[in-house]
Amino acid sequence: MDSEALRKFSALHPKPAGLTLQYGTAGFRSKAEQLDHIVFRMGLLAALRSKAAAATIGIMVTASHNPEEDNGVKLVDPLGEMLHPSWEEYATLLANAEEQELQKVITEICQKATVNLHKDASVFIGRDTRPSSEKLSQSVIDGIQVLGGQYHDYGLVTTPQLHYMVCCQNTQGQYGKATLEGYYEKLSKAFMELTKQSHCSGESQRHLKIDCANGIGALKLSEMKPYFPLEMLIHIYNDGTKEKLNHLCGADFVKVHQKPPGGLDMKPNERCCSFDGDADRIVYYYKDTAGHFHLIDGDKIATLISIFLKELLAKVKQNFKMAVVQTAYANGNSTRYLQETLKVPVHCVKTGVKHLHHKAQEFDVGVYFEANGHGTVLFSKAAETKIRQLVKEEKDDERREAAKMLENIIDLINQTVGDAVSDMLVIEAILALKGLTVQQWDALYADLPNRLLKVQVADRRVIDTTDAERRALTPPGLQEKIDALVKKYKLSRAFVRPSGTEDVVRIYAEADTQENADALAHEVSLAVFHLAGGKGAPPQP
């Protein structure tokens, strides 16, 4: 390691005094002006990770659904998955090291992770459309080059596109071509193959209005438009030419506020969807003839995809194990519908994409979505191989056709990570194939009314949870109190969990009516305030 170069470049990207940041599920996120030293050091870390794994690593500059003035950075592991947990710790260590300790910390990481600094390093870089992203990705390059790494800068891409590129590169092209054209061609070809069999009911079926959150999704969707079939009419709104990223629009805004985004004119019963700022989440919605807004979130997306996959799996007559993975935030009625009506096993895990992804890998077909619209489908190697073999060799027409559709789904879904573009195409294909309107999809089950609240506390660590965050272990007495409150309402449940990023406790409650869900959430928030060291005034109803 060239100590002189490290010292020189580190001085160009100085760490502000007293700033400490933690690498979480979303990597690092903060105000953009606080991140220069962080992204430089993540360039260093990506080079180290690449040397250790003997593979290409990705690094994405984005803060997803955060306001435009924020930014962030996250690393992508060799198969397009999220950074390994042990390396999350190294990321936090390196980010918070004082300038004079930088070389010592790098040496420590090399020892712990058995990194040979003489090995080659290769890093793929991507960034979103924030004003600060270009300069920050230059700082990433400085970090990679100090440790003698090679890099390929893809410039403006969605987060899932970068995950895809990394996976393509490290599977020697088995997953696809590591270019944007390769991504567009693979997805559009699978989409066209899949929808060939659809007897499209009427022209309006294929109209879709898309709110792109004034982000990268708009640019990439426009580039992809020429690859789509002519009957697929997509209309892009909030394309970033007029308004600020994520301002009053995007999947997060729509999900949290339960209302349509600004900048999109909705007519009754029109199918609409929203991407988030870096296009890794999607939610659908529509307005009925009475003007009521209906949100179709990640739970209902997972349900639609599960119905479709279950039918195809039954037709190919293989003994594939399929399951849906949710978190405690999934609406109770979605869980009931999947288990009782569809007869699909449902597993609940802790909040955070990495927990869902990890659990979904245990099945031949694992469907996972968070309620916020982040999700995908994973196929085991064995299942994928068998499906592709049936397409080639199966003599029975029905079984072969079902296998062909499954093969197209495998090629259409981005198995590395939730991808708004890919998920949108899967949904559009299923709606067309099943001849479903957005209202019919919505009517599969009615969501139980629910309420999300948060309570400020002195220290979020006083709350410890178990059972996939559905029960509180500490502070003493809190879970008993919640149990007693839940008994007062029909079809109700409630849970509390500490935020991953700030000193607040998040509360979720659902019940048979909105009034009861609100009342339960409020009563639980009071219990948290009194038993878990609430700050400021007690919560008001």
Contacts of 263 (CB under 8 A, 6+ apart): 211, 237, 238, 242, 243, 248, 249
- Show which residues are catalytic: 64
For residues 412 and 473, state if they share a domain. no
Q: What is the mean pLDDT of the chain?
A: 95
CB burial of residue 265 (10 Å; 0-12, 13-18, 19+): exposed
Is 278 part of any known ligand binding site?
yes
Is 411 part of any known ligand binding site?
no
How far from 515 is each of 466, 498, 507, 518, CA to CA, in Å? Answer: 28, 25, 16, 5
Is 506 part of any known ligand binding site?
yes
Is 159 part of any known ligand binding site?
no
What's the rounded Cα separation, in Å, for the pair 444 and 447?
10
Contacts of 370 (CB under 8 A, 6+ apart): 298, 327, 329, 351, 353, 356
Answer whether residue 540 is part of any domain: no
Total domain count for the chain?
3
Is 428 part of any known ligand binding site?
no
Answer whether residue 237 is part of any domain: yes
For residue 295, what pLDDT is reported? Answer: 96
| pLDDT by position in tens, the chain (length 541) | 889 999 999 999 999 988 899 898 889 999 999 999 999 999 999 999 999 999 999 999 999 999 999 999 999 999 999 999 999 999 999 999 999 999 999 999 999 999 999 999 999 999 999 999 999 999 999 999 999 999 999 999 999 999 999 999 999 999 999 999 999 999 999 999 999 876 554 444 579 999 999 999 999 999 999 999 888 889 999 999 999 999 999 999 999 888 999 999 999 999 999 999 999 999 999 999 999 999 999 999 999 999 999 999 999 999 999 999 999 999 999 999 999 999 999 999 999 888 999 999 999 999 999 999 999 999 999 999 999 999 999 999 999 999 999 999 999 999 999 999 999 999 999 999 999 999 999 999 999 999 999 999 999 999 999 999 999 999 999 999 999 999 999 999 999 999 876 789 999 999 999 999 999 999 999 999 999 999 999 999 8
For residues 425 and 483, state if they share a domain. no
Answer whether residue 293 is part of any domain: yes
For residue 441, what pLDDT is reported? Answer: 97
Is 49 part of any known ligand binding site?
no
For residue 200, what pLDDT is reported? Answer: 52
Last residue of a domain, one of 387, 415, 447: 447
For residues 408 and 261, state if they share a domain. yes
What's the rounded Cα separation, in Å, for the pair 424 and 417?
14
Last residue of a domain, one of 447, 478, 509: 447
Taking the CA of residue 278 as centre, how many other CA atoms within 13 Å lie in the half-sphere pointing to its CB? Answer: 31
For residues 422 and 504, state if they share a domain. no
For residues 140 and 237, state if they share a domain. no
For residue 203, what pLDDT is reported? Answer: 47
For residues 305 and 409, state if they share a domain. yes
* Structure-token pair, residue 530: 């009194």
For residue 199, what pLDDT is reported? Answer: 59
Residue 225 DSSP class: G
What's the rounded Cα separation, in Å, for the pair 203 and 257?
31
Contacts of 279 (CB under 8 A, 6+ apart): 158, 159, 160, 212, 215, 216, 217, 220, 419, 420, 421
For residue 204, what pLDDT is reported? Answer: 45
Is 271 part of any known ligand binding site?
no
Domain that holds residue 475: 450-532
For residues 264 and 386, state if they share a domain. yes
Residue 484, phi-psi category: left (phi > 0), alpha (psi -120 to 50), beta (remainder): alpha
Answer whether residue 165 is part of any domain: no
Answer whether residue 171 is part of any domain: no
Return the closest-CA partner of residue 9 out of 130, 149, 166: 149
For residue 371, what pLDDT is reported? Answer: 93
Answer whether residue 100 is part of any domain: yes
Residue 475 DSSP class: S
Q: Cα–chain-centroid distance for residue 31?
A: 21
Span between the terminal Cα atoms of the chain, in Å: 59
What's the rounded Cα separation, in Å, for the pair 358 and 349?
10
For residues 402 and 471, state if they share a domain. no
The CATH number given to whatever domain includes residue 91 is: 3.40.120.10
Is 499 part of any known ligand binding site?
yes
The CATH number given to whatever domain includes residue 520 is: 3.30.310.50
Return the closest-CA partner of residue 475 out of 494, 454, 456, 496: 496
Q: What is the CA radius of gyration of the chain?
A: 24
For residues 352 and 435, state if they share a domain. yes
For residues 433 and 455, state if they share a domain. no
Answer whether residue 167 is part of any domain: no
For residues 72 and 84, state if they share a domain. yes
What's the rounded Cα separation, in Å, for the pair 78 and 57?
6
Contacts of 206 (CB under 8 A, 6+ apart): 200, 231, 232, 233, 428, 432
DSSP for 416-437, please give it. TS--HHHHHHHHHHHHHHHT--
Answer whether residue 527 is part of any domain: yes
Q: How many CB atoms are closer than 10 A to CB 171?
A: 14
For residues 143 and 216, state if they share a domain. no
**Residue 228: its H or E element:** none
How far from 441 is each of 194, 196, 409, 473, 532, CA to CA, in Å? Answer: 19, 21, 19, 38, 41
Contacts of 132 (CB under 8 A, 6+ apart): 32, 33, 35, 69, 71
Q: Dmax of the chain from CA atoms? A: 70
Return the closest-CA partner of residue 223 out of 208, 207, 209, 212: 212
Q: Rounded to 10 degrees, what is the CA torsion of 240, 244, 245, 249?
A: -90
CB burial of residue 233 (10 Å; 0-12, 13-18, 19+): middle
Is 371 part of any known ligand binding site?
yes
Residue 341 DSSP class: I
CB burial of residue 252 (10 Å; 0-12, 13-18, 19+): buried
> What percent of the chain stands above pLDDT 90?
92
CB burial of residue 392 (10 Å; 0-12, 13-18, 19+): exposed
SS (H, E, C) 265-283: CCCCCCCEEEECCCCCCEE
DSSP for 321-338, please give it. -EEEEEETTS-HHHHHII
